[in-house]
A and B are shown apart, each in its own frame.
Chain A
Amino acid sequence: MFVEEILASAADAVPGHLAQLSVPDPFRLRLKVLYSRDTISAALANQHKLGNVHELKPHAFRLDVSVGRAPSRRVRLPFAILDAGRPNMFVAIAVCAREEWQALVRFLDALYPQLVPVYLSQRELIGSIKTLRHSTPDLDLRVREMSATEKIETETGKRKRSVREWTDEDLDNLLIHVEDRRQIINSLRFDFHRRINDKVDVIPTLSCKVTRKAIVEISGQFAVAWDTVIADVVAAGAEKLKFFSKRGLRDRNYAASPLAIHFKKQVFDDLAEVRRFVDVMRKYPHSAYAVEHGNPYAHLQLSDRYDGSSFELWAVTSDEILVLPRLRATEGAVERLIHYIYDEFREGEVTDAGAA
């Protein structure tokens, strides 16, 4: 396969080859930002032993995987994982249809804690797109599609509803709209149009979709995407993982380094929210947990079974969750925990929570 040849070429030549590749529908050039303390070969070593991944080059692989349901089909999907230019940051790349890509993403997610999936909060997603807009003054950025979730009142209580909207809005207008409707953005698709003076090309140079899972889909000029969109998402991920690193007590000579998730609203004024928070955390996948207090404030401890990281959580003020990393707390485990809370409970802003 030609794509496999491209991905298996020298690592530094891959972006150049992809820049010249024309990708027909329904295929897309798809990328996912990842974090790893290890080399990619080491991170995938166990999978090599299992035989479902073949290493073509230290950065290029082929995944044997079943996709689809009734009937499923076996596919051999070539992919590459390239150094993203920041310490421990990588980008997985494949040229494939949606179904194959989803199988690859599941495979990559399952490599945690060796490979840590990077997630973007709404704030980070919007922040990286705003950075992108400022760093590309010769391109006009138009939002084409947005998927989000919003809360709705039903007869049986509050529910979440997924919304998908097609638009032709300026980013700022869209953000006002999102704020008004209290929506949480899951993904944004936007087009870049070349601009010369005040004239804008009607044909987009590049069309990109960026999701909270730090996945980028590209139609158009890969080189522009690599230098702008991917670079910004990588930077956002790198900054966050660095912020989350060395939080475990053993890494800090037993000096505490607590975090706080701050909410704009007085969430815990409502006792039902305290109970909901405890219920959500009891369901944290692959964890051991102990609830010490659940009403009127929350106090629990839990561990991440994948890598043995452990945390203590307190909700003792109305607008904040305190996260106390324990003896071991890897940056990957902090990232996983924070984004579980964002996804399943409520999105907030993480800050250092040193002595008040």
Chain B
Amino acid sequence: MPELPEDEQRRARDAAEDYQSTVHAMLAFSAFVVHDATAQRPNSHFGFGRRMTTSEANVVTPSGTVTPDIVAQKSDSYGVVAEVKRSLPSDRTKWSSHVGQIRKYDDDLTGWWTSDRRMAISDTTLLLHQTRSRAFVNVLDDERKQNAEVVGPHTSVVEFNRSDERQVNYFFRLEWGDVRDADLSGRLREGVAVPIDKVIRTFANVKFYDADPPLHSLLAFLWIDYFGPLVAAVAYDENLKAFPIDVSSAAIADELQRAYGSQLLEKDERSVEFPSAKVIRRALDALVTMKLAMSLPAGTSEYRVLYRQFNDDVLLRFASMLKTPAESVTAQTTLPFDEPQVAVTGSAAEIPRGKGVSNRGTKPAARSKSRKKPPPK
């Protein structure tokens, strides 16, 4: 596989990291709303992409359904609806759509975790990365001068960034407007730092939200975490030069939702499912294009993944393969993974591998990253 130029490597990593950072920022902000310093507040809840119903009076989408990135209920009388934008298009004329998006959230929405599904006091917040927050506020002010109704009465802008100091934190600060909860308002005005390690410890598994992850990132995730463990149960196919693993997008989506996605959060009729079977199908289709999977004609499994062991960075490999035209991938697939592998049958014990023992010639061997094969540490 041709190695990506350095700037493309950086972009590929940044895209994966941006998605993960957005998930963490959403978790950090949700935790800021629903937790006090020691524990979760009574009657507090949060959800990502929750389906909320707008009122008849909604100026953008009357009696419709909206799915804000975050719905965080601090108590049964106060909540925050938030949309997160880590990046904005460079063309500022396109920012109006984001103004319109938060306008429809600034409403008496139905769908909270209360007896009548409504909230006495709720605010709408746009969480914007620090690099764009000031510029966005200027655009917001300009639009308000032309039409005061363009922004709702209870809307605010909170900037966020990740501070890479000694202790990596997510930092939130009120940039425009206000929230009506005195406690949250005071803290947001001063700025709130949420240590990233606390987010990871508390929500160790949450890897997805209701936006699709970058494809190369999802493929690396599946390759390492989902397909890797399944290799033990299949025999190496000498003809395919791969471990054939039959999978279905629905089963993968279901397990990822349980392990890393929507099913880790509160689930009810208004919650959405992520990652979706659709995005998993898209990832599997990409593998088909790369000749790392094939579609199956019928049966419970829709795809046969042709698992091969990659010795380089899997994230960059998929970023490179997605960039490479399909014909080139076809020509290359037999080359980069061409390890001297011996047919195996049976269990994980027989995965081709090499070990530094003197009986090397009598057992299957695969090339390791280092030609010298140290015993497992």
Contact = CB atoms under 8 A, between A and B. Distances in A.
A290 B314 contact: yes
B229 A66 contact: no
Interface of A: 45-46, 50-52, 64-67, 72, 103, 105-107, 109-110, 112-114, 117, 119, 249-250, 254, 256, 258, 266, 269, 282-283, 285-293, 296-297, 299, 301-303, 305-310, 314, 316-318, 320, 322, 324, 326-328, 336, 339-340, 343-344, 353-356
Given A113-B349, A254-B263, A317-B168, 14 more contacts: A45-B349, A106-B355, A113-B348, A117-B375, A254-B259, A286-B376, A290-B316, A292-B16, A303-B224, A306-B353, A308-B232, A310-B228, A327-B229, A355-B202
Contact of B315 (A114, A285, A292, A322): A292
Interface residues on B, range: 35 or more
B373 A258 contact: no
B303 to A, nearest CB: 18
Contacts of B200: 258, 314, 316, 322, 324
Given A119-B377, A310-B225, A107 B17 contact: no
Given A65-B358, A66-B358, A327 B255 contact: yes
A305 B351 contact: yes
Contacts of B259: 249-250, 254, 326-327
A317 B167 contact: yes
Nearest to B373: A285
B358 A316 contact: no
The DSSP consensus for interface residues of chain B is helix
A112 B373 CA distance: 13
A113 to B, nearest CB: 7
A320 B168 CA distance: 12
Nearest to A75: B358
Interface stretch (B44-52, B57-65, B92-100, B362-370): B362-370
B13 A293 contact: yes
Most chain A CB atoms below 10 A, which of B201, B362, B368: B201
B201 A355 contact: yes
A50 B348 CA distance: 16
B166 A269 contact: yes
A353 B201 contact: yes
B128 interface: no
A322 B13 CA distance: 20
Contacts of B362: 50-52
A67 B202 contact: no
A309 B314 CA distance: 16
A301 B13 CA distance: 13
A12 to B, nearest CB: 28
Contact of B221 (A50, A119, A301, A339): A301
Nearest to A338: B377
B292 to A, nearest CB: 13
Most chain A CB atoms below 10 A, which of B220, B349, B355: B349
B266 interface: no
A306 B164 CA distance: 35
Given A290-B315, A305-B309, A110 B221 contact: no
A352 B72 CA distance: 29
A139 to B, nearest CB: 33
Given A269-B166, A310-B224, A310-B228, A50 B350 contact: no
A113 B198 CA distance: 33
Contact of A106 (B204, B350, B356): B356
B242 to A, nearest CB: 14
Most chain B CB atoms below 10 A, which of A256, A286, A324, A344: A286
Contact of B357 (A110, A306, A307, A336): A110
Interface string B298-320: 00000000000110011110000
A291 B319 CA distance: 13
4 smallest beta-carbon distances between A and B, as pairs = A109-B375, A308-B229, A110-B355, A256-B204
A313 to B, nearest CB: 11
